[in-house]
A and B are shown apart, each in its own frame.
Chain A
């Protein structure tokens, strides 16, 4: 058990190290931010002073070593554009993104579990086919287009909800959209937009789990014992499919945060996704690098925790230790 945990930990460290090299080379070997930062008529002397100031004149491996030691102490450098610490910029925006991501995850799961149960219980019923068709649509609809349609219908035609921005208040010292109806109304459209994909995914997962569980011996036994449907569903079926569902929810949180890039752009939500898009346009390397490294850390941490939870929940995962 300890050995498995240690090996997973080592693997995580390896992934972070590998990603740091890839990110660094990818971002630093290509593109010249100085060209974008200074006006064209800037004298060469001033240009080289800026290059030296930003440390861009050093050899690549020197830049990388400096990068690693800086990153280890939480210093991602100053944003080329804002001239403030890159990490600070991202941490400032992170709460908005997390609020959006978690809200949409809650919406997705709250809707997906009952719908998935329904579709799995009666796979051939019309309602189930409808749900599954809906979930194919959920995969098929490009998220940016859904966002546009939500704006068109609920903001422009019906005028019910605002189409852009975030409105916060303070509750118990935390800045959140949930402080007022105005704040919540700004959150609804982006959260629903972001939730659709996960909704479709979790519906399929739950349905597949239910279909499989219904044919399992322990459920057949429970049925022949004369247990009530409700008890069979809640105790025998649901409990068993929760392990994969919880795993996917954990892992999908990272994807949701990544996909927030698109949603935040459409709804002008002031989170990290909007920041990274702006930074890409402006080739603001320190911010791009800081964002990517934070995402990688987040992913690796979530993966690691999910694996630990798995070990705790499923005794079968402990034996052998094969990665499959």
Chain B
């Protein structure tokens, strides 16, 4: 057991899931190709979907996730007001508790903040920033991690050793600390936060993909492809990558949750996204000052939304791990 592997906290088990092919290549192969006698036609993807649907909780979490993403995308059309259009905000409406009517007579379902902004609208817009930052940082880290992991697995030897040492080094530092320092150095802005999150996360993907790709590297079809001289890039990306991808999906889900949480933490500490594009973490931070005087709704509601988002991602990731992990095949 590598000590550094334990660093991957929410991914602690996904790391072990990723190692499984290394220990039981036969199992992995058996899982990739459905058992011929029992399930003749089911493709591996269909089988995964069916196994996933076995847990009502996971299905519910997936539904919540889809709903939240849809809400974030459609924010301008579904929110009662545009929270960052100053013309639609009235200072007279400031700090109203949930359910109060505005001066114009419209209800504020979740109350208003210190500037008279409708909390519900602010939260949907905040969700947009949070999901945007989380998803884009995970996709970039995924791309980078895939490249590094594939190169390490394909070439092996000193290339592999060097890259994995860098991965170990990266994973041995707590992510919150690295992100904090990076954002402090890079300065504020959505792009800087995304960059910091990518630097914090790529190593998880690189390690997971390398473990899976190493198994594929030794298989005959890869040897055959190399023997046919189809070119390194094609061997890596069209032959090894698709077969080594499933464990990465789990890591990506869990990492998206941790990226969103990390961004919220940075924003709460005042080192994250700028005030003009408040994420959920920033909304909570703004509510902190009002919390002490008992105006709970400004900090609590964005927090609940953040929690639901992260929890849904983790539940989905958990179920995906069970579905993909060949050890759990019944």
Residues of chain A whose beta carbon lies under 8 Å from any beta carbon of chain B = 15, 18-19, 26-27, 30-31, 136-137, 139-145, 148-149, 151-152, 156, 163, 197, 201, 204-205, 208, 244, 247-248, 251-252, 254-255, 258-259, 261-262, 265, 276-277, 280-281, 283, 288, 292, 295-296, 299-300, 303, 306-307, 323-324
Query: How long is the Cα–Cα vector from A265 to B7 in the complex, in angstroms?
Result: 23
Chain A residue at minimum C-beta to C-beta distance from B270: A281
Q: In whole angstroms, how far apart are the Cα atoms of A294 and B253 in the complex?
A: 33
Tell whether B36 is near chain A: CB-to-CB under 8 Å.
no
Interface core residue of A137, A208, A280, A300 (most chain B CB under 10 Å): A280
- Are A277 and B269 closer than 8 Å at their CB atoms? yes
B195 to chain A: closest CB distance in Å?
13
Q: Kindly report which residue of chain A lies nearest to residue B184, judged by CB atoms.
A: A280
Judged by a CB distance under 8 angstroms, whether B299 is at the interface is yes
Asked if B185 contacts A30 (CB within 8 A), the reply is: yes
Task: Assess whether B303 is in contact with A148, with CB atoms less than 8 Å apart.
Answer: yes
Chain B residues 180-212 with CB under 8 Å of chain A are 180-182, 184-186
Q: For A152, list chain B residues within 8 Å (CB).
A: 291, 296, 299-300
- Enumerate chain B residues within 8 angstroms of A295, measured Cβ to Cβ: 173, 177
Residues on the A chain within 8 Å of B4, using CB: 303
Q: Which of B8-16, B96-104, B227-235 contacts A (4 or more CB under 8 A)?
A: B8-16
Contact partner of B3 (CB less than 8 A), chosen from A141, A247, A258, is A247
For B174, give its contact among A148, A258, A276, A277 (CB under 8 Å).
A258
Given contacts A15-B169, A144-B265, contact A303 B314 (CB under 8 A): no
Is the CB–CB distance between B261 and A142 below 8 Å? yes
CB-defined A-B contacts under 8 Å, sample of 27: A15-B169, A27-B181, A27-B185, A136-B314, A137-B311, A140-B261, A140-B310, A141-B307, A142-B281, A143-B265, A144-B264, A144-B269, A145-B284, A151-B292, A156-B291, A204-B13, A247-B3, A258-B176, A259-B174, A262-B176, A262-B268, A276-B180, A280-B180, A288-B184, A296-B173, A300-B172, A303-B3
Q: Which of A156, A244, A324 contacts B292 (CB 8 A)?
A: A156
Q: How far is the CB of A60 from chain B (nearest CB, A)?
A: 15
Contacts of A244 in B (CB 8 A): 1
Assuming the contacts A247-B1, A261-B177, asked whether A142 and B306 have C-beta atoms less than 8 A apart, the reply is yes
**When chains A and B are docked, how far (Å) is the Cα of A323 from the Cα of B161?**
11
Neighbour of B181 across the interface among A251, A265, A292, A307, CB < 8 A: A292
B181 with A299: CB separation less than 8 A:
no
Residue of A nearest to B318 (CB): A136
Using a Cβ cutoff of 8 Å, how many contacts connect chains A and B?
129
The reply on B294 being an interface residue by CB < 8 A is yes
A109–B269 Cα distance when bound, in Å, is 28
User: Which residue of the partner chain, among B10, B172, B264, contacts A142 with CB atoms under 8 Å?
Assistant: B264
With a cutoff of 8 Å between Cβ atoms, the chain B residues found around residue A197 in the complex are 9
Contact of A265 among B9, B264, B269, B310 (CB under 8 A): B269
Task: Collect the chain A residues with CB atoms within 8 Å of residue B261's CB.
Answer: 140, 142
Q: A261-B180, A288-B181 are in contact. Are A136 and B1 (CB under 8 A)?
A: no
A252 to B172, CA, bound (A): 11
In Å, the complex CA distance between A254 and B174 comes to: 8
The answer to whether B6 touches A248 (Cβ under 8 A) is: yes
B52 at the interface (CB under 8 A from A): no
A112 to B104, CA, bound (A): 52
- Contact status A149-B303, CB under 8 Å: yes
A148-B299, A252-B6, A288-B184 known; 15 new pairs, CB 8 Å cut-off, are A15-B172, A144-B265, A145-B303, A152-B291, A156-B292, A156-B294, A201-B12, A204-B12, A247-B3, A259-B176, A262-B176, A262-B268, A280-B181, A303-B4, A324-B1
Contact with A along B135-161 (1 / 0, CB 8 A): 000000000000000000000000000
A324 lies within 8 A of B2 (CB): yes
- The reply to whether A151 and B291 contact each other, CB–CB distance below 8 Å, is yes
Contact yes or no, A140 B311, CB < 8 A? yes
Instruction: For A14, give the chain B residue with the smallest CB separation.
Output: B165
B257 within 8 A of A: yes
Contacts of B184 in A (CB 8 A): 280, 283, 288
In the complex, chain B residues whose CB is within 8 Å of the CB of A26: 181-182, 185
Task: Digitize B284-303: 1 where CB-to-A-CB distance is under 8 Å, 0 elsewhere.
Answer: 10001001101010011001
Q: How far is the CA of A163 from the CA of B185 in the complex (A)?
A: 31
Residue of B nearest to A141 (CB): B307
**Is the CB of B65 closer than 8 A to any CB of chain A?**
no
What distance in Å separates the Cβ of B294 from its nearest Cβ neighbour in chain A? Answer: 6
